[in-house]
Amino acid sequence: MDAEIIAVGSELLTPFRTDTNSLYLTEQINQLGVEVVYKCVVGDDLKRLVAAAQHALFRSEIVIFSGGLGPTEDDLTREAVAEALGLPLHRDEEILAGIERRFAARGWKMSANNAKQADVLEGAVVLPNPNGTAPGQWLSGKFDGRERIVILLPGPPHELKGLFEAECRERLRAKLPPAFLATRVLKVAMLGESHVDARVAPIYKRFADVQTTILAGAGEIQLHFKSRAETMEAAQARVDEAADAVEEELDDTVYSRNGESLEQIVGYWLQMRNATLAVAESCTGGLLGERITSIGGSSRYFAGGAIVYADAVKTELAGVPADMIERHGAVSREVAAALAEGIRYRCEATLGIGITGVAGPSGGTPEKPVGLVFHALASAGGTEVIERNFPGDRKRIRWFATTLALDMVRKKLM
């Protein structure tokens, strides 16, 4: 069986909004052993919606609609699916009473347009919406001689997710042959995609029943492993075997074995070692602190630090001698080390990081070009400095620099 997802809404046909519900739905559907083979976006236009629904119902066994279930004139998914399937809509008095109660509970009177949210396709199961007014609908059976499953879900992501989990997952599983999908994600920092692929392709190609996908982001490679089997144990055993073999090859460059973020892993190691961290950031301007503190509870291991943009602030907040800056320049191995050591001392932290570089787009020189960054890690045992020339724009250079710094902390502690 194959699935198709139709996102409904004219706002999804503007330059400003993209359909993200289908990413969640794809993940859910893949886990049930079903592939998504088409995704479409259609605006709030009855004729086009009917045509798209007909076409989807012709070519795909499972068709999931998201959006267009609200109370406004533009919400036309119910009407379009009814027309495409040649089924009447019935107004469900129980749903209607529930909507009226929702309004009454807030002291409001329900306006007439809300009643259409109680319209149900003949033969459909009504799926209660735990997080909103418009219920979903589930329809399965033969249409035009073809066995089909049709699901209508509301567009707001938290309503769609709540409803899918509560009402659709098990209903779908019951309709499908038993198939279990096991997944693993390995993450690698600061290696190139082609380098990683060259090393691991000979390994993962040995596992014909494990689907391996390599995704490259700034400073990070993700290796996704997927395998299907008739039991979860069998599927899991295969992805683990493939992932373990790949991990052995990549050794300590693998920072995450189950999808955790680098920020989480660094926090994990700092807590494991009962250590604290302080940072002094020049060209990254706070991004490293922001990434570390994006994790809830990071106050257990993150002391804080300084954003040392102006040279005088490097001296004032991180204790870098002014004459050192003058002698070596603010972007130098020496200043990076002094930042790391100074902020470690000032914040009384176990480890100190110093970052200084040229993020661009301006400010580069032949000796110190845009992309040059010095990363220092100071500890009781001394200070190490890594110099790199990163490609890309300001955003990418800052991301690379903070990723490398986080990975230095991980390697120091693991």
For tokens 């007014």, the residue is 133
Q: How far is the CB of 395 from a second copy (least distance, A)?
A: 7
Residue 52 phi, psi dihedral angles, 5° rounding: -65, -40
Binding of residue 281 to a second copy (CB under 8 A): yes
Q: How far is the CB of 123 from a second copy (least distance, A)?
A: 28
Binding of residue 108 to a second copy (CB under 8 A): no
Q: How far is the CB of 125 from a second copy (least distance, A)?
A: 26
| Out of 172, 292, 335, 397, the residue judged to bind a second copy by CB under 8 A | 292
Check the CA dihedral 140-143-147-153 and report its sign.
negative
Q: Find the part of the chain contacting a second copy (CB under 8 A) among 79-87, 155-163, 169-177, 292-300.
A: 292-300
Binding of residue 294 to a second copy (CB under 8 A): yes
Binding of residue 15 to a second copy (CB under 8 A): yes
Q: Single out the residue of 99, 124, 95, 122 nearest to residue 109, CA to CA.
A: 99
Binding of residue 299 to a second copy (CB under 8 A): yes
Binding of residue 278 to a second copy (CB under 8 A): yes
Among positions 178-237, residues that touch a second copy (CB under 8 A) are 213, 215, 222, 224
| Out of 279, 337, 339, 340, the residue judged to bind a second copy by CB under 8 A | 279
Interaction pattern, residues 301-340, with a second copy; x per rule: CB under 8 A? -xxxxxxxxx-xxx-xx-----------------------
Interaction pattern, residues 231-270, with a second copy; x per rule: CB under 8 A? ----------------------------------------
Binding of residue 406 to a second copy (CB under 8 A): no
Q: Smaller CB distance to a second copy: residue 303 or 351? A: 303
Interaction pattern, residues 382-401, with a second copy; x per rule: CB under 8 A? ------------xx------
Q: Smaller CB distance to a second copy: residue 120 or 353? A: 353
Q: Smaller CB distance to a second copy: residue 91 or 300? A: 300
Interaction pattern, residues 24-63, with a second copy; x per rule: CB under 8 A? x-xx--x----xxxxxxxxx-x--x--xx--x---x----
